[in-house]
Amino acid sequence: MQLDEVTIRALGQPNVGLDQLVRGIEKESLRVRADGSLSQFPHPKSLGSALTHRAITTDFSEAQLELITATHASPEGVLQELSDIHVFVQQNIGDELLWPSSMPCILTADQDKIPLGQYGSSNIAQAKTVYRRGLGNRYGPLMQTISGIHYNFSVPEELWSALGKSDQQSQTDAYFGMIRNFRRWSWLLLYLFGAAPAVCRSFVQNMDHGLEQFNEGTYYLPHATSLRMGRLGYQSEAQSALDVSYNSVADYSRSMRIGLTESFPDYAAIRPGKDQQHPQLNDAVLQIENEFYGTIRPKRTTRSGERPLAALNERGVEYVEVRCVDLNPFEPLGINAEQIRFLDTFLLLCMLAPSPPDSAESRASLGRNQTRVVERGREPGLQLETDNGLVALSAWATQLLAACEPIAQALDQARDSDASNHNDTLADSATAYEASLQAQKDKVARPSLTPSAKVIAAMATHGSFYKFTMHQAQKIQQHLQAAPIAPATLTALQDESADSLRRQAEVEAADTQTFEEFLEDYLALP
């Protein structure tokens, strides 16, 4: 996993673009009432159209907000925009709160109380709702209330040039190399940033969950890191049989096409319920590409009407989407600059280090490692699988973090040479990336410093997962209500909300097909 000297020297050269890394954030949060129960109100009209708003939409449920930043060249920039969106949202949801944990709030046994996302009367809007209905019918609505952060990341052309990868094919190959290494090592992120070791009793009611009882209202595992990423979260019998290769865009596409075209018997047996003409988009293993649950995805911006898989095949990988980041309930935005800096460093390590091809055996092994870290990540002496046998998590983590050192140093050097990217505060010092790396080394040496351990400690202080998370939700609500937002930014968000409603109306007026005709075209693969 060590970088070669040529790569290290290239990173140390001036003007290689390390100060222009591109990152964006998509952050999901449930709207909850004052008692911690899921909001039953529709998406507020003052937040605009969930179909067409550029920064504020919904995920599975009407009550599950998804806040989306533009791309930024600095951690400070992306966090400032994310903060502005949060403040605007809080101004427009009345006395509701944003649930700050990945695992959901109090849920009732009546799953109809988890309202599906609604996007208007257009064909594309109906398709989005049917897709979500399909998710609920396949996996259950409870699983779909889990929230997280998606971290979108790409490198600038200057860095590609410094690495001798000036054409799209070589860049796409490099991104797939990054993805393979990320999948091998993403257990480290679950250990360092997992913040979901416990759940409310309501989430596991009538479920064979395998958790321990913390108290009457809370279940947990004492050494768990991110239950969201394990059996209680994004797991699927159908998808587990879909062995996706990441050795090339062609291999990835072939694997995904199987999932998108092969009928799954359990899904074929799903029948429309009351007033449900379409219980799902189709009966394939995957209704659409977005249904595939992975820790990371290769991405390419799509054109109007274009399938994501077609965009990848035609124009290659544009960026990657990291999908295994929990909401940090101790942070008002669910993530902070220190974490972003380490994600940057880690993703560059994944891209720059040698990345051998994956295989069915290696993919199965990394799945077992993920399960171990999800359920037992802080267990003393925990061992993980490698090609050379079992190794202690702490030893492997130490090796990976050591390999990150020249990258963190190069990032700090590039950042220090561009004073416009930061200010003179301690948090924004010239060694911010190295400081972020040191913070992760400290977590390996002292597991009590990890967010998952801190959550369990806070549960003991407050009495339960619910009481702790409500306490944090109220603190964050107060923080957002008091946080400043520039008048021009507020006006821009208000204008975007109004404009998005007009754009939704335009989409609805432009429809010329029946929904059945639209659906046939929408689901067609080239």
Residue pLDDT, tens place only, 148-165: 999 999 999 999 999 999
Per-residue pLDDT of 318-353, as tens digits, reads 999 999 999 999 999 999 999 999 999 999 999 999
- Residue 424, pLDDT above cutoff 50: no
**H or E element: which one contains 385?**
strand 383-386
Percent of the chain with pLDDT over 70: 97
- Residue 427, pLDDT above cutoff 60: no
Per-residue pLDDT of 85-135, as tens digits, reads 999 999 999 999 999 999 998 887 776 789 999 999 999 999 999 999 999
Residues 6+ apart with CB under 8 A from 329: 100, 101, 195, 451, 455, 468, 469, 472
Instruction: Return left, alpha or beta for 400; rule: phi > 0 is left, psi -120 to 50 is alpha, else beta.
Output: alpha
Identify the DSSP state of 281: S
Q: Is the dihedral of CA 165, 166, 170, 176 positive or negative?
A: positive
pLDDT at 6: 84
- Residue 518, pLDDT above cutoff 80: yes
Q: Say if residues 416 and 161 touch (Cβ distance below 8 Å).
A: no
Other CB atoms within 10 A of residue 70 CB: 11
- Residue 246, pLDDT above cutoff 90: yes
pLDDT band at 425 (very low <50, low <70, confident <90, very high): very low
Return d(Cα 144, Cα 28) in angstroms, integer.
Answer: 11
Give all strands (DSSP E) within 174-304, no chain letters: 198-200, 212-215, 218-220, 296-299
pTM of the shown model? 0.96
- Residue 428, pLDDT above cutoff 80: no
pLDDT at 419: 52
pLDDT at 423: 47
- Cα distances (angstroms) measured from residue 140 to each of 111, 345, 383, 518: 8, 36, 33, 27
Pick the CATH number of 5-523 from 3.90.930.12, 3.40.50.12780, 3.30.590.20, 3.90.245.10: 3.30.590.20
pLDDT at 430: 82
Bridge partners of residue 387, in order along the sequence: none
The mean per-residue pLDDT over the stretch 208-228 comes to 96
Of 53-57, 168-172, 271-275, 284-288, the least confident: 271-275
pLDDT at 241: 82
The mean per-residue pLDDT over the stretch 206-221 comes to 93
Return d(Cα 450, Cα 191) in angstroms, integer.
Answer: 7
Per-residue pLDDT of 55-93, as tens digits, reads 999 999 999 999 999 999 999 999 999 999 999 999 999
Return d(Cα 43, Cα 118) in angstroms, integer.
Answer: 8
